[in-house]
Amino acid sequence: MQSSPNMLTKFESKSSRAKGIAFHPKRPWILVSLHSSTIQLWDYRMGTLIDRFEEHDGPVRGIDFHPTQPLFVSGGDDYKIKVWSTQTRRCLFTLNGHLDYVRTVFFHHELPWILSASDDQTIRIWNWQNRSLICTMTGHNHYVMCAQFHPTEDLIASASLDQSVRIWDISGLRKKHSAPTTMSFEDQMARSNPNQADMFGNTDAIVKFVLEGHDRGVNWVSFHPSLPLIVSAGDDRLIKLWRMSETKAWEVDTCRGHFQNASACLFHPHQDLILSVGEDKTIRVWDLNKRTSVQSFKRDTDRFWVIAAHPEINLFAAGHDTGVMVFKLERERPASAVHMNQLFYITKEKHVKSYDFGKSVESPPMLSLRKLGSPWVPPRTVSYNPAERAILVTSPADNGTYELIHLPRDPTGAVEPTDALRGQASSAVFVARNRFAIFNTSNQQVDIKDLSNSTTKTIKAPAGTTDIYFGGTGCLLFINPTSVVLFDIQQKKELAEVAVSGVKYVVWSNDGLYCALLSKHNVTIVTKTLEQVSTLHETIRIKSATWDDAGVLLYSTLNHVKYSLLNGDNGIIRTLDQTVYLVRVKGRHVYCLDRSAQPRILEIDPTEYRFKLALVKRNYDEMLQIIKNSSLVGQSIISYLQKKGYPEIALQFVQDPQTRFDLALECGNLEVATEMARELDRPNYWNKLGVEALAHGNHQTVEMTYQKQRNFDKLSFLYLSTGDQEKLARMAKIAEHRGDFTSRFQNAVYRGDVEDRIQMFKEVDLYPLAYLTAKSHGMTEEAESILETCGLTEDQIVLPQVEEPLKVAHPVVPTFKNNWPVKAAGHSSFEKALLGEVGAADEEAGADVFDMEEEEQEAVLARDTLEDEEEDASGWDLGDDVNVEEDVDFVNVESTDAGAGGSEADLWARNSPLAADHVAAGSFDTAMQLLNRQVGAVHFAPLKQRFLEVYKASKTYLPASAGLPSLVNYVRRTVDETESRKVLPIIPRDLEYIATTALQEGYATMRANKLEDGVSIFTDILHTLLVNTVSSEEGVDQARKIIASAREYILAMSIELEHRALGTDDEADLKRKLELSAYFTIPKLEVAHRQLALMAAMKFAFTHKNYASALSFANRMLANGGSAKLLDQARKIKTQCERNPQDKIEIDFDPFAEFDICAASHTPIYGGSPSVSDPFTGAKYHPQYKGTVCRISQVTEIGAPASGLRLYVPSQF
Amino acid sequence: MDPFSAEGELLNIHNAFHQGQYDNVIEFDTTALSPENQLPARVLKLRSKIALGRADEVLSEVSSEEDTPDLAATKALAQHTAGDADAALQLVQDLAENYPDNVTVQVLGGTVLQAQGHSEEALALLSKHQGNIEAVALIVQIHLQQNRSDLAVKEVQTAKRWAQDSLLINIAESWVGMRIGGEKYQAAFYVYEELASAPSTAAPLSITGQAVAELHLGRLPEAEAALTAALEKYPDQAELIANSIVLNVLAGKPSTDLESRLQQVNPSHPLLSDIQEKSEFFDTAAAKYSPKVTS
């Protein structure tokens, strides 16, 4: 027997003896009934006592939660059964009837029944809805210790000290009580006489089987959740397993091991296990199939009395002499590892599976690890090595074991691995492509091993190390209870240490720069050199964490998914209804494994943390994006922004003027503040604004706020200090009007206005002062007149000797004219981004007009370039045959006799009949030969650029030994190919590039009317396609379409360019011009572009009074449909022309005939007349141009014999 | 004890040299080394200087110590690098005759011989080595340059039996892998990535390797990211520029700027001379064709 390494205690309580336990089916609650008459309600997750119920007298033995209703029931030694509400926490009613201790009480899973077992030797069924006793089962002739309903069928099992277990059939009772249709007389009879046989001798409950086998009293009995099995525990220290059929029941086996009375037992709800507890102070776990002990757990002093299982999650509770413990049998964290886009994990069946994040699909099982460790112990960790496609799995069984297994390339199901290498270790982790480290706690030693499992190096771990983790390339992290140490394997030395206690898991960020250390309640983020970045504390257990690509840590607690930024800011993202283990975040999806090791995807809203991250990184564009695209407002984000010192950003979110005002002041945005103050218009806001504006030196705003506040004194002083004499004078006027002499005096002083001062003194009868002022300013006349008024003479007054009166200084610079240079507030880069954004949006809107979808092109296929290539191909096949032998030769070389071999480029030329491949191989001459044969190429100069481009892209330069030139390697498009006869070069600017980029650029020039550029772009497209390869038949078709389309555009654009080059003065020129503008409408352009051509032609014809032609163009435009504006014009012109559908100048253009345009002369080739075409582009020419270079492609010879361009060889792909 | 084994005191300087961290090699503190390792360490430092283009400095440094074959071999390499090819060749051939068993003579002699196109002689000299990884790496490279990847594979396989752990063997295996392709690209990528990602081993050499592997794997955006970052850090690395040119061409982007930059940094780079040669070849080949009628 093995002691219990896996029993994980989640909660323990201290109390008197616990006799009954019940789990709440949904909430993390547990009810414990105690020998001391109390019932406790605990939250075992938080470890808190929620409530106590103390209405029973004496010990309470039976307790049960209702599976769905907010009820629980208890039964005690006071003979009473009490039903309680979990909502009001009150006893609802009491069921009386038992005549002795009640041992157990249980709810029925669907009927409103309670089952009780009592020392009065009866088992009773009660209806809790009408609070009545509906059945009493007699038969046991000693205390009934336990009675339970069958989880699905109408059966009851009971255990009694009479040494028997009885199985009762209660289908009669159900019949009687289930939805009475018509209450017959018999029914009524039966109802009124419970527990008596009806007239046919049927009773409500009959004994179906009596199971005898225990030779002492039986304490407990339990049904299996799905199988017809029963388990019982007795004072004979045995756990007995029974099986039953429809007609009989028999003993299957006995589990021996308890060395004292066995008090209770049950089946594991999900696994083939039996759990039992006894007075020998042990909890024992048995294998249901082998009836052998799997593990046991012993308490030192406390006898166990009862055990209960959570109905859904993997939790058990056992009651003992001093309380209750809640535990689980095994770790539920599924072992998993993430690499790039793949998750590797081990299921409950111990199958290795992978999960593709991109496609969201699970792989079939790849391996079965059934034999790893012991059967009931799940693997603890898995480490993945992408280079070798191997996994390293550890299991805690047998003091820690590991296995190194290669994953099969093509999984064929859950097969046992054949090449597994094993060893003893408590931890094992890959540290490099071909190395892994294992750690043994027992000898504190780390062995570095290679992939053949042989030790290459041994390291003594720092004392107290409990676990190791990957520490970045070539490094390990040693975890000990108080710190984490970074260790360089190669140099064998400690690089850094960080004091973080109780670290359990280490999670590296995707870029390997940061790592999160998870302990039970803390997350510490450190850099890869173990410098602490931030730390945070959670009151609830932290389960797992993973990094967002942007460097945000997402972690899960028991009931939340949260985030933490590097700076420690954190918050809740969403709640969880069950514990999950995060493995990956991608956009709005959080990938995780649940406790049954199933991958799940959680939807989250990453807006908040993205925003905060953008804020920290000052990535204003992204913030803007977020603000625009989501409803990110609310007090929390505003206060966050304010707190973090970004009031100017918070300002963007706020509508409320008061908050806006405050924020604007905080960030010094006076404009906004003024605006808001106007809106609010209350003195204290003006005051605040004034103070702030003054601090800014923004005196214009200050002036306004003083005006608003009617703060004349300050206003005057402001005018004085800004030198605004005019306004100061006005202030004086105002003071005069207001009759405020103090103010008037002040203003007068400010202005140096002596007269006004004297005048004022006189008005307030302060003649002495008036006189003094006048006198001292040398205004003798004025002084005398004052004296006169007062009736005094000069000699009566003694004046002190005064010096020259002070002159009021005049402002040197009239600062009032301009505001002081103000701090450029209010244009943070964020706001600039906002403004910029608006601008960009406008431009976009403008561009949108021309945006058109890439529709299926109706370009005519160049029929004459179709596959007439037998001759050519066979020629090349011959070449291949010859080469085969050389290749064989080449491969078979065994001797070391030296001598250079052929380069890969040579192979390319041999392997492919496509011109592009020859170009890439540098074999320009053969490439030209091919092109000449395929499309009659004769003038190669325009292709030079393309040739060199393809060639340039064909090889890379890998620096190798110092002093020697770099190794040249050849870039392949067949990346997965190693067979030298199949390797082929990569060709830059492939079909996809042309279709998605170049073609669009070409169209854009058409829209933008840059025809010269357009011609060169489309010509370039033709050249690029000419030296190219495609990967499928569809590709060939698409390439043909693009060639045809490019041809039409080049033709159209050249016609229009010729049209533009001509003047209108000469009659002949005008005629030609009219013709050309008509021909411009003939090439098969995209509809939108043809409309442009038609428009131009129509207008031109109309202006030169060729109404008939104009009319035909207008009609064609209307037939094409499209933009309303264009159609309007067409309609107008149509009506105009219909009045006089005559052409003024006769032109060579028949709107009703089908014809092609000669690409050289730009004249029509009507159907039936002879023509020659270009073998590459298919452009048509008058016969006299045969043998010249095609005007469209500029490379090929018109009318040359050609087998057709080859871009694709089926066998290559 | 093998001086280059995992426990040897020359391991770090040796690794630094092969990772292309020449500055680190030169600054490496060799005072603590045991006497018998002083000379190899000094040779490595001299070679680093040569690799950094300071051949003249090396020449003057060793001029008085030509009696030591190791230093004489170094001198030959310096002469070769400085452009004095004939003298270098002469010296190497002498050394190869007199001290064929000297490790430094083998490696440096092999380098000079191969660089001057005497591959057979180089192989003959190198094949005399007694378990010297550097010699193996050189042999591998010579085989690869001769397009004999089969022989290169064999050489690596043999060497891996006794030096599986060696960094240089791993790198040499990547060279071969890059030639073979398929899954080996990925394996090579891992080797270079491992080197490039660890700050202590990151150097233009490893980053170039990583980017080139990405290129071969068809992962252009990743390759571009690696190259762009590396170019910012080491703007004058010819190989980085050359591979960036290849990348830009593959991605359909203009590469003229880079080409002129390469022209400045290393006008004799194979990419440039190759293109030049091919351009002339194109003109001659194209001259054979003409339209029947010239318009």
| pLDDT, position A831 | 58
Which has the minimum average pLDDT: A493-507, A876-890, B212-226, B270-284? Answer: A876-890
Mean pLDDT score of chain A? 82
| pLDDT, position A866 | 34
Most confident of A315-319, A395-399, A1156-1160, B76-80: A315-319
- Please give, rounded to a whole number of angstroms, the shortest distance from the CA of B286 to a CA of chain A: 6
A454 interfacial to chain B (CB closer than 8 Å): no
C-alpha R_g of chain A:
48
Torsion of CA A1067, A1068, A1074, A1078, to 10 degrees: 160
pLDDT for residue A27 is more than 60 = yes
pLDDT tens readout for residues A961-1004: 877 888 888 888 888 877 777 788 888 888 888 888 888 888 88
Residues of chain B with pLDDT > 90, as a percent, come to 0
pLDDT tens readout for residues A1084-1131: 888 888 888 888 888 888 888 888 888 888 888 888 877 788 888 888
pLDDT-based confidence at A832, cuts 50/70/90?
A: low
Closest C-alpha among A318, A334, A466, A353 to residue A400: A466
- Interatomic CA distance for residues A557 and A578, integer angstroms: 10
A1184 interfacial to chain B (CB closer than 8 Å): no
The residue-averaged pLDDT of B205-211 equals 86
Please answer yes or no on whether B144 and A967 come within 8 Å at the CB atom: yes
| pLDDT, position B91 | 86
Rama region for B147: left / alpha / beta (φ>0; ψ in -120 to 50; rest): left
| pLDDT, position A822 | 61
**pTM, to two decimals:** 0.59
| pLDDT, position B123 | 87
Question: How would CATH label the architecture of B15-126?
Answer: Alpha Horseshoe (1.25)
The residue-averaged pLDDT of A86-106 equals 93
Please answer yes or no on whether B111 and A964 come within 8 Å at the CB atom: yes
> Which of B4, B222, B249, B258 is the best substitution to test chain A (most A C-beta atoms within 10 A)?
B249
| pLDDT, position A92 | 93
A97-103 contacts: CB < 8 A, separation 24 or more? A97/A124, A97/A126, A97/A133, A97/A136, A98/A122, A98/A124, A100/A143, A101/A59, A101/A61, A101/A76, A101/A77, A101/A143, A102/A61, A102/A62, A102/A75, A102/A76, A102/A77, A103/A61, A103/A62, A103/A75, A103/A143, A103/A144, A103/A145, A103/A146
Mean pLDDT score of chain B? 84
- Please give, rounded to a whole number of angstroms, the shortest distance from the CA of B75 to a CA of chain A: 13
Map tokens 């002190």 to a residue.
A800
pLDDT for residue B54 is more than 80 = yes
A952 interfacial to chain B (CB closer than 8 Å): yes
- Please give, rounded to a whole number of angstroms, the shortest distance from the CA of B64 to a CA of chain A: 23
pLDDT-based confidence at A1212, cuts 50/70/90?
A: low
pLDDT tens readout for residues A34-81: 999 899 999 988 888 999 999 999 999 999 999 999 999 999 999 999
pLDDT tens readout for residues A448-502: 888 888 888 888 888 888 889 988 877 889 998 888 999 888 777 888 888 888 8
> Is residue A761 a contact partner of residue A770, using CB atoms and an 8 Å limit?
yes
Residues of chain B contacting A899 with CB distance shorter than 8 Å: 146, 148
The size of chain A, in residues, is 1213
- Interatomic CA distance for residues A607 and A630, integer angstroms: 8
Residues of chain A with pLDDT > 90, as a percent, come to 19
Please answer yes or no on whether A952 and B275 come within 8 Å at the CB atom: yes
The residue-averaged pLDDT of A935-947 equals 88
CA A1065 to chain centre: 68
- Interatomic CA distance for residues A1007 and B142, integer angstroms: 56
| pLDDT, position A934 | 87
Instruction: Give the β-pairing of A304-309 and A293-298.
Output: unpaired
pLDDT for residue A1171 is more than 60 = yes
- Please give, rounded to a whole number of angstroms, the shortest distance from the CA of A327 to a CA of chain B: 43
Q: In this structure, what token pair is assigned to residue A1096? A: 């131009």
| pLDDT, position A3 | 41
Torsion of CA A961, A965, A966, A970, to 10 degrees: -140
Q: Which residue of B has its CA nearest to A961?
A: B138
Instruction: Give the β-pairing of A29-34 and A18-23.
Output: antiparallel
pLDDT for residue A1156 is more than 50 = yes
CA A459 to chain centre: 40
A433 interfacial to chain B (CB closer than 8 Å): yes
pLDDT tens readout for residues A615-656: 777 777 777 777 666 666 566 677 777 777 677 777 776 777
pLDDT for residue A895 is more than 50 = no
Please answer yes or no on whether B289 and A937 come within 8 Å at the CB atom: yes
Judged on CB neighbours under 10 Å (0-12, 13-18, 19+), A287 is middle
CATH of domain B185-281: 1.25.40
| pLDDT, position A830 | 57
The residue-averaged pLDDT of A519-546 equals 88
Which has the minimum average pLDDT: A147-156, A905-914, B254-263? Answer: A905-914
pLDDT-based confidence at A8, cuts 50/70/90?
A: confident
The sheet carrying A81-85 orders its strands as A60-65, A71-76, A81-85, A91-95
The residue-averaged pLDDT of B213-222 equals 87
Residues of chain A with pLDDT > 70, as a percent, come to 88
* Residue A584: strand pairing partners: A591
- Interatomic CA distance for residues A1197 and A1199, integer angstroms: 6
pLDDT-based confidence at A107, cuts 50/70/90?
A: very high
From the DSSP assignment, how many helices (H) and strands (E) are in chain A?
Answer: 30, 62
pLDDT tens readout for residues B12-42: 788 888 888 888 888 888 887 888 888 888 8
Closest C-alpha among A1162, A938, A1172, A1153 to residue A1050: A1162
Instruction: Give the β-pairing of A560-564 and A553-557.
Output: antiparallel
The partner residue sitting opposite B215, judged by closest CB among A928, A971, A976, is A971
* Backbone dihedral angles phi then psi of residue A1048, each to the nearest 5 degrees: -60, -40
Residues of chain B contacting A509 with CB distance shorter than 8 Å: none
CA distances from A492 to A475, A495, A499, A818 (A): 9, 9, 21, 71
Q: In this structure, what token pair is assigned to residue A356? A: 């593709």
A891 interfacial to chain B (CB closer than 8 Å): yes
- Interatomic CA distance for residues A1191 and A738, integer angstroms: 93
Please answer yes or no on whether A432 and B137 come within 8 Å at the CB atom: no
| pLDDT, position A861 | 33
| pLDDT, position A838 | 42
The partner residue sitting opposite A957, judged by closest CB among B216, B243, B255, is B243
| Domains of chain A: residue spans and CATH | 8-146+258-328 (2.130.10.10), 510-605 (2.40.128.630), 623-816 (1.25.40.470), 860-881+903-1061+1150-1213 (no CATH)
The partner residue sitting opposite A432, judged by closest CB among B194, B239, B282, is B194
The residue-averaged pLDDT of A1027-1039 equals 87
Q: Which comes out higher in pLDDT, residue A774 or A477? A: A477
| pLDDT, position A723 | 79
Q: Which residue of A has its CA nearest to B22?
A: A962
User: Do B15-126 and B185-281 have matching folds?
Assistant: yes
Where are chain B's structural domains? 15-126, 131-180, 185-281
Residues of chain A contacting B81 with CB distance shorter than 8 Å: 963
Please answer yes or no on whether B165 and A456 come within 8 Å at the CB atom: yes
> Is residue A23 a contact partner of residue A310, using CB atoms and an 8 Å limit?
yes
pLDDT tens readout for residues B107-150: 888 888 888 888 888 888 888 888 888 888 889 988 888 888 88
Q: Which residue of B has its CA nearest to A892?
A: B150
String of DSSP letters for A719-785: HHHHT-HHHHHHHHHHHHHHT-HHHHHHHHHHHT-HHHHHHHHHHTT-HHHHHHHHHHTT-HHHHHH
A456 interfacial to chain B (CB closer than 8 Å): yes
Please answer yes or no on whether A988 and B245 come within 8 Å at the CB atom: no
pLDDT for residue A802 is more than 70 = no
pLDDT-based confidence at A826, cuts 50/70/90?
A: very low
Those residues with Cβ within 8 angstroms of residue A126's Cβ, 6 or more apart along the chain or in another chain: A81, A95, A97, A113, A114, A116, A132, A133, A134
A955 interfacial to chain B (CB closer than 8 Å): yes
pLDDT tens readout for residues A289-320: 888 888 888 888 899 999 999 988 889 999 99
What beta strand segments (E) does A411-450 contain? 421-424, 427-432, 435-440, 445-450
A88 interfacial to chain B (CB closer than 8 Å): no
Q: In this structure, what token pair is assigned to residue A328? A: 């689980």
pLDDT-based confidence at A148, cuts 50/70/90?
A: very high
| pLDDT, position A304 | 94
The residue-averaged pLDDT of A545-559 equals 88
- Please give, rounded to a whole number of angstroms, the shortest distance from the CA of A265 to a CA of chain B: 55
Residues of chain B contacting A959 with CB distance shorter than 8 Å: 20, 204-205, 208-209, 239
pLDDT for residue A855 is more than 50 = no
ipTM: 0.91
- Interatomic CA distance for residues A757 and A763, integer angstroms: 10
pLDDT for residue A523 is more than 60 = yes
Closest C-alpha among A565, A593, A562, A563 to residue A579: A593
Residues of chain A contacting B285 with CB distance shorter than 8 Å: 924-925, 928, 940
pLDDT-based confidence at A361, cuts 50/70/90?
A: confident
Q: In this structure, what token pair is assigned to residue A568? A: 């420690």
